[in-house]
Amino acid sequence: MADKKAQLIIEGAAPVELPILSGTMGPDVIDVRSLTNQGVFTFDPGFMSTAACESKITFIDGDKGILMHRGYPIEQLAEKSDYLEVCYALLYGELPTAEQKATFTAQITGHTMMHEQMKSFLNGFRRDAHPMAVMCGLVGALSAFYHDSLDNNNPKHRELSAIRLIAKMPTMAAMCYKYSIGQPIMYPRNNLGYAENFLHMMFNTPSDVQPVNPVLAKAMDRIFILHADHEQNASTSTVRLTGSTGANPFACIAAGIAALWGPAHGGANEAVLTMLDEIGSVENIEKFIAKAKDKNDPFKLMGFGHRVYKNFDPRAKVMKQTCDEVLSELGINDPKLELAMKLEEIARNDPYFQERNLYPNVDFYSGIILKAIGIPTSMFTVIFALARTAGWIAQWKEMYAGGYKIGRPRQIYTGHTQRDYTPINERG
């Protein structure tokens, strides 16, 4: 793996030879692990130039707009697969055979219910709490309810926790929503598909159980697939970093949810709709584009730009197509879609966005679909978290199976040098 070498010249010292590692795809990587022996280390805030792990799960080529899980292009998975199959591939490395799929589906459906006591825990939250705040709490609390599977060194426990998390996320997400609107919580129905069951728990009531529209269930499933994993993004890195301390998987996923919440990450889908509301109509687009370009204004065009994709986000293309399908099925003529398309057109023809390679990302159109399905804006990021749980837990499992070191970045210290303590009456 390390045939080539790089040489680092530090002024006044002998050259340092550093191995160059190659993956199966993607750029070569200079292995700087031995640098601390030379009394120096590297500086890379934002990890723009740093790989923190080896992984076989997801590959992204940001320049070419490629995203693959276990080698399968996202476009093929979105078109031909379903979310549980993608979960299986993320967790075990291969797409399942028919028998493996049936077993995996039975395992998941066998764990969809929550411990009844979780309802009392949920009742402690204010009904107007943001569902992401509730989700951080509920998922973190799972470790208090399911402590029969918390030995991280036991592969069977890791397996069981992964299954429980994927199975229970839709139930918890729907519980949050039902609680916020004061409706009774709906129990899962194990004869329904994964996305179908989620929509059942979200929108049915005990007094009125209607079949779920298959087009909407399919669209929901596709949204789950498109968000299932995205290699070492901020929340996944948070899950790995938390996991590297030996913390239990439920605590790690709660940490991932907290990281995802930010508007620069998973919170962007909610922020896109808020932004479209603020823009209001096509005439105001230019004003908002000018704001986004103004260095003195913190406003950014939500749903635009990506740390890795500098060409286009392949998920955004599939999302746009799904958006068209859902709106046509529901016969919705949403003026927000027209506004979003016009905004995209204007931004993509603007030199500011062109020069910086800023394209619509996965979140630009997902909000319009979710809104059409009837999902309230405050639940958008919860849906992202629900879907990303598969990727987070697959990455966590991979880290454990492969051996790991506690994550401990270094710093350049720029504070005071040593000085003596001054008594309070001598300060000022």
Tokens at 195, concatenated: 């996305």
Of 144, 264, 290, 401, the one binding ligand CMC by CB under 6 A: 264
Q: Does 212 help bind ligand CMC (rule: CB under 6 A)?
A: no
DSSP letter, residue 322: H
Minimum gap (Å) between residue 19 Cβ and ligand CMC: 28
> Which residues have a Cβ under 8 Å from the Cβ of 101 and sit 6 or more positions away?
84, 85, 88
Angle between helices 249-260 and 131-145 (to 10 degrees): 170
Of 140, 266, 314, 367, the one binding ligand CMC by CB under 6 A: 266
Other beta carbons less than 10 A from residue 283's beta carbon: 8
The window from 115-123, 146-154, 162-170, 303-311 that contacts ligand CMC (CB under 6 A) reads 303-311
Q: Does 209 help bind ligand CMC (rule: CB under 6 A)?
A: no
Minimum gap (Å) between residue 77 Cβ and ligand CMC: 18
Separation CA 85–CA 222 (nearest Å): 12
Separation CA 21–CA 28 (nearest Å): 6
Q: Does 382 help bind ligand CMC (rule: CB under 6 A)?
A: no
Separation CA 74–CA 317 (nearest Å): 11
DSSP letter, residue 213: P
- The residue of the chain with the least Cβ separation from ligand CMC equals 305
Closer residue to ligand CMC in complex, CB, 52/401: 52
Among this protein's residues, is 306 annotated catalytic?
A: yes
Of 87, 362, 368, 385, the one binding ligand CMC by CB under 6 A: 362
Name residue 6's beta-bridge partners.
18
Among this protein's residues, is 221 annotated catalytic?
A: no
- Number of residues located near ligand CMC, criterion CB under 6 A: 19
Catalytic residue chosen out of the listed positions 221, 229, 313, 363: 363
Q: Does 304 help bind ligand CMC (rule: CB under 6 A)?
A: yes
- Could you tell me whether strands 16-21 and 5-8 are parallel, antiparallel, or unpaired per DSSP bridges? antiparallel
396 burial (CB, 10 Å; 0-12 / 13-18 / 19+) is: buried
Separation CA 2–CA 23 (nearest Å): 10
Of 171, 237, 361, 381, the one binding ligand CMC by CB under 6 A: 361
Closer residue to ligand CMC in complex, CB, 184/299: 299
Closer residue to ligand CMC in complex, CB, 232/233: 233
- DSSP for 277-295, written as a single string: HHH-SGGGHHHHHHHHH-T
Minimum gap (Å) between residue 380 Cβ and ligand CMC: 11
Q: Does 301 help bind ligand CMC (rule: CB under 6 A)?
A: yes
Catalytic residue chosen out of the listed positions 306, 324, 350, 420: 306
Using CB under 6 A as the binding rule, the residues of this chain from 72 to 131 that contact ligand CMC are none
Of 265, 336, 371, 397, the one binding ligand CMC by CB under 6 A: 265
Give the position of tokens 């022996």. Answer: 37
Measured CA distances, 208 to 180, 214, 244, 382 (Å): 19, 18, 46, 25
Separation CA 180–CA 185 (nearest Å): 10
Separation CA 361–CA 369 (nearest Å): 14
Catalytic residue chosen out of the listed positions 130, 227, 230, 265: 265
Name residue 199's beta-bridge partners.
none
Minimum gap (Å) between residue 334 Cβ and ligand CMC: 20
Of 305, 314, 367, 391, the one binding ligand CMC by CB under 6 A: 305
Q: Do the Cβ atoms of 204 and 236 come closer than 8 Å? A: no
Of 197, 233, 381, 395, the one binding ligand CMC by CB under 6 A: 233
The window from 15-23, 88-96, 210-218, 360-368 that contacts ligand CMC (CB under 6 A) reads 360-368
The window from 53-61, 105-113, 164-172, 354-362 that contacts ligand CMC (CB under 6 A) reads 354-362
Which stretches of the chain bind ligand CMC, using CB under 6 A? 233, 264-266, 268, 292, 300-307, 356, 358, 361-363
The residues carrying an active-site annotation are: 265, 306, 363
